[in-house]
Structure 1
Amino acid sequence: MSTGALPRPTSARWSLRRWWLVSAAVVIAVLIGAMVSVAWAIADLTAARTHLLDTVGPTVVNTQQLGMALVDQETGVRGYALSGLDDFLSPYDGGRDRAARIRSTIDPTGLPWLAGDLAELDRAMSAWRARYAEPVISAVRAGAPPPTVSTGKSEFDAVRAALTDVQSHLETERSAARAALNTAAARLAATCVVALGGLLVVVLVGVWLMTRSVVRPLGRLTNQVRQVADGDFDHEVTVRGPREVVSLSADVDTMRRRIVSELDRAQAAGRDLERSNAELEQFAYVASHDLQEPLRKVASFCQLLERRYAEQLDDKARQYIEFAVDGARRMQVLINDLLSFSRVGRHTGKHADHPANALAEQATRNLAEAITAAEATVTITPLPTIHGEAPLLTSVFQNLIGNGLKFRRETPPTITITATRDGDHWLFSVTDNGIGIEPQYADRVFVIFQRLHAKDTYPGTGIGLAMCRKIIEFHGGSIWIDPTHTPGTRVQFTLPATPPAAD
């Protein structure tokens, strides 16, 4: 399968950045339009309310008070004309003063038509005073007959008519202002509803576009990646959508192709490894059967030759025969050790929890004859439960105890096995009082066939500690020589701790 990358998306497809900028611009434009519309509606409402409350309302109140002042004047003059008492002039004088004060507070600026109506009212009031009120007061004070009542009535009817026109026009203005205020309030409410609706529509459209342009392509990409992760490595990952999503799908498919290529190579290497293992199995079979049979024959015939022709052989010939027999036996031991070393990790048994004390005690039983011959003392302290293959772990204890017996001083060997908890592992120590190992050789002793002594001095094939290292690492631990321990040797190794319940 080709590992080439998919073609990159063309520039015609929008990127997420462009989608974001366009969406933000639309939202901002709609928001600004909504704010302007709402502000205009609020300003219109404020103007209508100001016109009604600050202009029309006070003017209506003032004209009402002005009408009451005019009526007080008319009542005072009529009472004075009938009684001739000066007390009746007080309402007239007070009404004049109030009328003048109220008239000065009426501002026709906001009501252009009001100036004409007020001017007409002023003319009618001035005519009533000049033609009736002042002549009546002067005539009564002089003792002369006052003007007729009909004259005063006709003049004051003109004042009432002018005042009625002003109040009627103000009532019309107030109704119009109230209607304008209601209209402005309704317009503000409608504007707010439209603005919120527009924003809601923009949000919904944005969500729809985001779902269609981003969420759905990402969902399809996720499903395709999950399909590949579930084992369908031949499925091509391709998604339509924004430029970044398409680019990501191309990168993912490129990675898929590379993984498939690496997997093909790994499978090919695995097949080669299987063939190699099969050849090793065949070699092990040959080594364990075909190679050992000639060695056994060489040793047997050499011994038979020695027994049958013992009287005809001199000491030199018997020594040569002994060398041949010893070499054949050591070759058999070496072959068996190599086979055991090669089988570690390949012919695995069932892993289970085993008490380490039982494994160590089994190792001492296997070495019982050698322990008795060396007058050795093997001390096994309480050990934890460990997880692994019992034969392999027993072999570790047996090799380490055997080394303590083999590499000893003149004094009887003393071997101690202990274990302590070290985080997630158990730390085992096998300590002896033997000849010890120089620090510079602490790593070399774990290499296969590496011997520190001649085979005539200390027998063996040089595979024991290498076998221990392979077994311990196969069980997830590590092994080393403690260079600080003297005299003698302390070999330490770790094994994963089993869960507390298993312990």
Structure 2
Amino acid sequence: MWISVALVVVLLAATTAVLLAISDLSKARSRLLDVVGPAVVSSQQLGADLVDQENGVRGYVLSGSADFLEPYENGLDRQAAARATVVVLDTPKVAEGVAAVDAALAAWRSEYADPAIAAVRAGSQVPGDAAGKQRFDAVRVALSALQAELAVQRAEGRAALNDAATNMAVTCIVALAVLLVAVLGCVAAVLVHVVRPLSRLREHVGTVAAGDFTHVVSATGPQELRVLGKDVDTMRTRIVDELDQAQQRNAALDAATEDLRRSNTELEQFAYVASHDLQEPLRKVASFCQLLERRYRDQLDERGVQYIDFAVDGAKRMQRLINDLLAFSRVGRHRDEQVVVAAGDLVEEARGNLSQVLEETGAQVEVGPLPDVQGEARLLTAVFQNLIGNAVKFRGEDAPHVRIDAEPRDDGMWEFSVRDNGIGIDQQYAERIFVIFQRLHAKERYAGTGIGLSMCRKIVEHHGGRIWLDTGTTAGTTIRFTLPGADVLAPVG
């Protein structure tokens, strides 16, 4: 801060000195050109005017012609203007010279010129020419003295102008030298008090940046650098603290990851057991119950047969539930290759898988123009198959009619809609229908495990999209979901 103040003070002082020198030069120049010079020229003009007056009087005396008085009278008029210019140079000697000229001129006029003009006009005796010549010689002497003084003033003005010019040149050189010294001094001060402390601070920061977070950052020099060093060290301390916390979090995350890996391993083991060991007893239960029914049906009453039917149905439903749970758990764990596939082909495959039920119910599946999407073809086919199957299952009195459309979105995703003319879904269940095992109807009325829509949700979110119930639909049901287009990399999760 003090370096800047010192440089500003030196700059102001140098500027002031140069401005004063320029002012002195301007004053000297103005006096010489605007005052002394015009006064010298006017004195010469004054001498010419006085000679014209003397010649006019002499010609009038000799010839008596009034035409000779014209130079005299014109000289009087020009004499006043010339005198006024000379008087502007207000110095004692110039004033004395002007007064001497005025006195000699007044004596010449009163003692010779005016009496001679009056005598010629009256036709009387004209005063002697020797007296007029003597008086006018006195005027010339006074005028010469005045002009000599003006010449002295002009020489002094030139000398003053030269001195002012020299002074200005010297002042400028000195000011430049002082400024150069001041700048060099400021540079040296900056190097000593700013650059060096800043370099040391940079070395401290570099040590910390290299990985030595225990290195204490300190700074010397100006107050600003010391504060900066303190702030940097405070930041280092916070980084160290946050790094310790991050390491602790990472350790906890590693432990949680290990627990998750172990849990996934156990889940895979459970899936294996569920797909093999658990289903085998169920198949035996169902098989022996059916065998029992065939062999002993004639010996059982109606209630006994009903009990056997209940047992067989429960075993089959348990098998379906296990299979659906296995399919649900496999979503996102056993990944196929992400490929670009035509959505129309996915719908056709889903229709082929449902061909029997579609034919039995007389269902119509109408498909609009569909785009290419990115994803796992097997899983995406399951989405369309579940939605079309639900539309057929939850049909009304009319034959099922399903309409599938798609439209682009601004984020590169495609929004699909599956619309049917079925019994519809109340908007209060818009979220519940996507929760696993959540059923809106009794199993006696509509078969199923309640996993279909939750499976769709998991598959769609696995591909970076989302699925929802269109609550604005007034008739039937409309399910909407988004999938990444062919040019968008699907964020698989």
Q: Same fold (TM over 0.5)?
A: yes
- Specify which of 418, 423, 437 is matched with residue 430 of structure 1: 418
What is residue 263 of structure 2 aligned with on the other side?
Answer: 280
What is residue 477 of structure 2 aligned with on the other side?
Answer: 489
Q: Tell me, yes or no, if structure 1 residue 370 matches structure 2 residue 357.
A: yes
CA shift digits 1:296-338 (9 cap, x unpaired):
4323544258649964685477766665555444434333333
CA shift digits 1:64-121 (9 cap, x unpaired):
13333454566678889xx965569859966984797468534276222223444555
C-alpha distance in 2 between matches for 1:196 and 1:394: 87
What is residue 32 of structure 2 aligned with on the other side?
Answer: 52
For residue 340 of structure 1, report the CA deviation from its aligned partner: 2.9
SS in 2 for 1:382: coil
What is residue 47 of structure 2 aligned with on the other side?
Answer: 67
Q: Tell me, yes or no, if structure 1 residue 465 matches structure 2 residue 445.
A: no
For residue 39 of structure 1, report the CA deviation from its aligned partner: 5.0
Q: Tell me, yes or no, if structure 1 residue 355 matches structure 2 residue 342.
A: yes
CA shift digits 1:35-54 (9 cap, x unpaired):
64455345434432442244
Mean Cα deviation higher: 28-37 or 128-137: 128-137
What is residue 399 of structure 1 aligned with on the other side?
Answer: 386
C-alpha distance in 1 between matches for 2:75 and 2:445: 149
Mean Cα deviation higher: 388-397 or 266-275: 266-275
What is residue 254 of structure 2 aligned with on the other side?
Answer: 271
C-alpha distance in 2 between matches for 1:408 and 1:129: 143
Q: Which runs of 5+ in 1 are unaligned?
A: 1-18
Do the aligned partners of 2:53 and 2:76 also contact (CA within 8 Å) in 1? no
- Specify which of 129, 145, 156 is matched with residue 165 of structure 1: 145
What is residue 177 of structure 1 aligned with on the other side?
Answer: 157
For residue 55 of structure 1, report the CA deviation from its aligned partner: 2.9
- CA 1:233–1:322: 2 relative to 1, 3 Å: farther
For residue 359 of structure 1, report the CA deviation from its aligned partner: 0.8
Which amino acid letter does the alignment assign opposite residue 276 of structure 2? E
Which amino acid letter does the alignment assign opposite residue 480 of structure 1? W
Q: Tell me, yes or no, if structure 1 residue 335 matches structure 2 residue 322.
A: yes
> Any residues of structure 2 matched to 1:66-465 within 5 Å, and which?
66-72=46-52, 85-86=63-64, 90=69, 97=76, 101=80, 105=84, 106-107=86-87, 110-118=90-98, 160-184=140-164, 242=225, 245-246=228-229, 249=232, 252-253=235-236, 256-257=239-240, 259-261=242-244, 263-302=246-285, 303=287, 307=291, 311=295, 315=300, 326-409=313-396, 411-424=398-411, 425-465=413-453
C-alpha distance in 2 between matches for 1:254 and 1:124: 102
For residue 448 of structure 1, report the CA deviation from its aligned partner: 1.0
- Which fold has the larger relative contact order, with Cα–Cα distance below 8 Å and residues 6 or more apart in sequence? 1
For residue 384 of structure 1, report the CA deviation from its aligned partner: 1.7
- CA 1:234–1:191: 2 relative to 1, 3 Å: same
Which amino acid letter does the alignment assign opposite residue 369 of structure 2? P
- CA 1:22–1:129: 2 relative to 1, 3 Å: same
For residue 396 of structure 1, report the CA deviation from its aligned partner: 0.8
CA shift digits 1:442-476 (9 cap, x unpaired):
22111111122333433322111111112222223
CA shift digits 1:332-387 (9 cap, x unpaired):
43333333323333443333322111111111222223333434332222212222
SS in 1 for 2:422: coil
For residue 395 of structure 1, report the CA deviation from its aligned partner: 1.2
C-alpha distance in 2 between matches for 1:418 and 1:172: 112
SS in 1 for 2:403: strand
Do the aligned partners of 2:18 and 2:168 also contact (CA within 8 Å) in 1? yes
C-alpha distance in 1 between matches for 2:226 and 2:167: 45
What is residue 14 of structure 1 aligned with on the other side?
Answer: none
CA shift digits 1:198-240 (9 cap, x unpaired):
889989969x969x969x979x98x979x97xx9795989585
Do the aligned partners of 2:430 and 2:471 also contact (CA within 8 Å) in 1? yes
C-alpha distance in 1 between matches for 2:398 and 2:237: 70
Which amino acid letter does the alignment assign opposite residue 379 of structure 2? L
Which amino acid letter does the alignment assign opposite residue 44 of structure 1? D
C-alpha distance in 2 between matches for 1:95 and 1:379: 123
Do the aligned partners of 1:419 and 1:426 also contact (CA within 8 Å) in 2? yes
Do the aligned partners of 2:430 and 2:469 also contact (CA within 8 Å) in 1? yes
Do the aligned partners of 1:292 and 1:332 also contact (CA within 8 Å) in 2? no
Do the aligned partners of 2:340 and 2:372 also contact (CA within 8 Å) in 1? yes
SS in 2 for 1:113: helix
Do the aligned partners of 1:437 and 1:489 also contact (CA within 8 Å) in 2? yes
SS in 1 for 2:87: coil
For residue 182 of structure 1, report the CA deviation from its aligned partner: 4.8
CA shift digits 1:258-308 (9 cap, x unpaired):
653554344234323422332232223222223443334323544258649
* Aligned residue pairs, count: 468
Mean Cα deviation higher: 490-499 or 103-112: 103-112
- CA 1:366–1:155: 2 relative to 1, 3 Å: same
Do the aligned partners of 1:427 and 1:494 also contact (CA within 8 Å) in 2? yes
Do the aligned partners of 1:124 and 1:159 also contact (CA within 8 Å) in 2? yes
What is residue 491 of structure 2 aligned with on the other side?
Answer: none
SS in 1 for 2:347: helix
Do the aligned partners of 1:284 and 1:339 also contact (CA within 8 Å) in 2? no
C-alpha distance in 2 between matches for 1:139 and 1:370: 158
C-alpha distance in 2 between matches for 1:322 and 1:60: 145
Do the aligned partners of 2:275 and 2:326 also contact (CA within 8 Å) in 1? no
SS in 2 for 1:68: helix
- CA 1:486–1:153: 2 relative to 1, 3 Å: closer
Instruction: Give the percent of matched residue pairs that are identical in Structure 1 and Structure 2.
Output: 41
For residue 135 of structure 1, report the CA deviation from its aligned partner: 11
- CA 1:428–1:84: 2 relative to 1, 3 Å: closer
Q: Which runs of 5+ in 2 are unaligned?
A: 489-493
SS in 2 for 1:429: strand
RMSD of equivalent CA atoms: 5.1
TM-score normalised by structure 2 residue count: 0.72
- CA 1:379–1:154: 2 relative to 1, 3 Å: closer
C-alpha distance in 1 between matches for 2:348 and 2:228: 65
- CA 1:437–1:61: 2 relative to 1, 3 Å: closer
TM-score normalised by structure 1 residue count: 0.71
C-alpha distance in 1 between matches for 2:119 and 2:392: 161
- CA 1:202–1:281: 2 relative to 1, 3 Å: same
